[in-house]
Amino acid sequence: MSTNMTLPYRQPLIPIEPGPRQIPEPPRRGEPGGPPCGICSKEATAAVWSDSNWTLHPPVGGSLPGAVWLASRVHVDSFSDLPEPLASDFGRVAARVERAILSLGDVARVHLYRWGDGGAHFHVWFLPRPLGMLEATGMMLPIWEDVLPNVSDEDLAAAARRVASAM
């Protein structure tokens, strides 16, 4: 961990043990036995940008304007499931999203996260790490994102539209 990286909580935090493992794991959205896919059923936020392979969406209930998530048009799960042309195209489109977020200003770096634990439709988060906010380097940014006060969904969507217009 970098020396500046800091949890957004007062110390001391007390380590806990993980609970018992749940195997098999509960089905995720968009996988057999689970709830319907929110992306395919258009329950997710409307795309602010798209091309023939990808759609770009604003978050809801977040604290970092400029955050967006990119989804494949096809319903596949992870990188290893993407058809080869899409896998190749991901680097190109990720670079465009990164450049667009950086153009908002006041952004030190753009973090990418692919968790895959909530929904089974390929999507990657792009989070702007605020310039100078060294506490939020590395894995601390999503935790800070969760703890900082949310901005309105309208502000998140407006920032995502600015990202879209810079694509």
40 binds Zn ion (CB under 5 A): yes
- CA proximity to 79, closest of 116, 26, 27: 116
Question: Which residues neighbour 43 within 8 Å (Cβ) at sequence distance 6 or greater?
Answer: 36
Judged by beta carbon, residue 39 or residue 100, the one nearer Zn ion is 39
75 binds Zn ion (CB under 5 A): yes
Longest dimension (CA), the chain: 49
37 binds Zn ion (CB under 5 A): yes
- Interface stretch with Zn ion, choices 11-19, 42-50, 69-77, 109-117 (CB under 5 A): 69-77
59 binds Zn ion (CB under 5 A): no
- Of 57, 96, 111, 121, the residue at the interface with Zn ion (CB under 5 A) is 121
- Interface stretch with Zn ion, choices 5-13, 27-35, 55-63, 79-87 (CB under 5 A): 27-35
Q: CA-CA distances (angstroms) from residue 61 to 33, 43, 136, 156?
A: 27, 15, 19, 8
CA angle 105, 108, 110 (to 5 degrees): 95
Binding site for Zn ion (CB under 5 A): 30, 37, 39-40, 75, 121
